[in-house]
Amino acid sequence: MSGSRLLTMTAPVRDPFEIPYHDIGAPDAPPRIALVGGIHGNELNGIYVLAHLARFLRAVVAGERPPLVLSARVVIVPAVNVLGVNLRERTWPFDGTDLNRMFPGYDAGETTQRMANALIQATREAVVRVDVHSSNLDFEELPQVRLYDPSEAERRTARLFGLPAIVERPSSTIFSATLGHAWNALGGQNFILQAGRAGDLQLEHADRVFGALVRFLTRLGVLRGTRLADEDEEVWHFGPRQTLPLASPQSGLFVTKLKPGAWVRGGEHLGYVYDAFDGVLRAEVRAPVSGLLSGIRRQPLLCEGDLVARIQTREELPEGGAETYLYGHGQ
Ligand SMILES: [Zn+2]
C-alpha cells in the first residue's frame, strides 16, 4: 500500500499496527483539504468512498486523467479506526472506546487519545475539513451535509457538495469531544457528511457521496479541468428547528416500503408495526408533518419509543421538539 502513516502503535502480541493515510499533491504546501472516514469502524460507505477518491486523485496527480489537475494538497484518511474495520466494529476493539468521544486527544495518552491527537495534527492546517459517517446499524440516512452551529461561510460552502439536504444541528454540549467539535475550535470550514447505514455498503449512497466530493473539490478549485454538468439535484437547507424525529408508538416488527429521500405528506403512511407473534397490526406509523424523509428505520424489530423515521420540514417546528435522537446515530 502506498501512503503515509498517521500513527504506528505496538500491539500486545505480534506486529505493530498502523493507521495509513493518503497525502496527495504538492508536498511543499500545507494540506488545503482534509477528508476523514471510518472513525467508526463499521461505517463502510465513507471508507469505500474515500479509498476510491484517493485512488482517483492519485491517478490525477500521476497524469493518468488528463486534462484533470490537482491544484492543492489533499489529506485523506479513509479509516481511522483500522482495527474496528477489521472486526466490523463501530468502536475501538481493545476497550470499546468510541473514538468520536476522544477529541482533541492527547499525544501521551491512551491509545485512542493518541489516535485522536494524531488525526488532529494531520488535519489541523487544512482550511476545509470533511468527516464522513453513516448512521448506526438500524437506520438508513439520505446522503446529507450536517452542520453544527455553522458560520455563514460554511452554510454557503455546504451547497457546493450538491447533496440533496443540508441539515443544521445545534452544537451539543454533551458530546463536546467529537472530531467535528475539535475541528470547529481550530477554525476553517468543517463539514460532516452522513450517508446510509452502518454495517453495510450501499452503492447508491456511496456513488452519490463520491460524486458530491468530486463536485466539491472542483468547485473549490482544488480539482481543475473537469467540466461539471451543472444540473445539481435540488439542495434543501434545513435549520436547527426543521428536524422531526419520529418514535414508534408500539413495539413489534416495523415494515416500510419507503426510501430516504422521499417527500411525504402530513398524515401519509410511513409504515406499519406488526405483532411478531401473531402478525396482528399494532400500529400504523404516519407522518405527523409534511417534509423530506431524511432517514428511515431498517431494523424491523423495535421497541416502543425507538426511532422509525426522521423528517425535515420546510417550516420551523414549534419550540421543544425532541432532540433526543440527534446523536447516537453514527456520530
Ligand atoms: Zn460515525
Please report, in tens digits, the pLDDT of each residue of the chain (331 residues total): 458 999 998 888 788 889 999 999 988 899 999 999 999 999 999 999 999 999 999 999 999 999 999 999 999 999 999 999 999 999 999 899 999 999 999 999 999 999 999 999 999 999 999 999 999 999 999 999 999 999 999 999 999 999 999 999 887 766 789 999 999 999 999 999 999 999 999 999 999 999 999 999 999 999 999 877 666 678 999 999 999 999 999 999 999 999 999 999 999 999 999 999 999 999 999 999 999 999 999 999 999 999 999 999 999 998 755 454 444 466 7
Q: Report how far residue 306's alpha carbon sits from residue 322's, in angstroms, rounded to the nearest whole number.
A: 13
For 177, counting Cβ atoms within 10 Å of its Cβ (0-12 exposed, 13-18 middle, 19+ buried), the class is middle
| pLDDT score for 175 | 75
Contact 263, 293 (CB under 8 A): yes
Ligand 1 centre distance from Cα of residue 43 (Å): 6
| pLDDT score for 209 | 98
Instruction: Locate 305 and state its grid cell.
Output: 419509543
| pLDDT score for 315 | 94
From the CB of residue 213, how many other CB atoms can be counted at a distance below 10 Å? 25
Ligand 1 centre distance from Cα of residue 133 (Å): 4
SS3 279: coil
Ligand 1 centre distance from Cα of residue 281 (Å): 34
| pLDDT score for 170 | 82
Backbone angles phi, psi at 173, to 5 degrees: -85, -15
Q: 279: which residues sit within 8 A by CB, 6+ positions away?
A: none
Ligand 1 centre distance from Cα of residue 42 (Å): 8
Ligand 1 centre distance from Cα of residue 233 (Å): 25
SS3 121: helix
Backbone angles phi, psi at 171, to 5 degrees: -70, 130
Contact 323, 191 (CB under 8 A): no
Ligand 1 centre distance from Cα of residue 85 (Å): 12
Q: Residue 182's beta-bridge partner residues?
A: none
Q: Report how far residue 60's alpha carbon sits from residue 26's, in angstroms, rounded to the nearest whole number.
A: 13
Ligand 1 centre distance from Cα of residue 235 (Å): 23
Ligand 1 centre distance from Cα of residue 226 (Å): 31
- Amino acid at position 181, single letter: H
Sign of CA dihedral 261, 263, 266, 271: negative
What is the CA 87 to chain-centroid distance, rounded? 20
| pLDDT score for 268 | 97
Ligand 1 centre distance from Cα of residue 40 (Å): 5
Which value, to the nearest 10 degrees, does the dihedral of the CA atoms of residues 254, 135, 286, 147 take?
A: 170
Ligand 1 centre distance from Cα of residue 330 (Å): 4
| pLDDT score for 321 | 53
- Amino acid at position 60, single letter: V
Instruction: Locate 24 and state its grid cell.
Output: 496527495
Strands, DSSP E only, in 98-251? 128-133, 139-148, 165-169, 189-196, 223-224, 236-238, 243-247
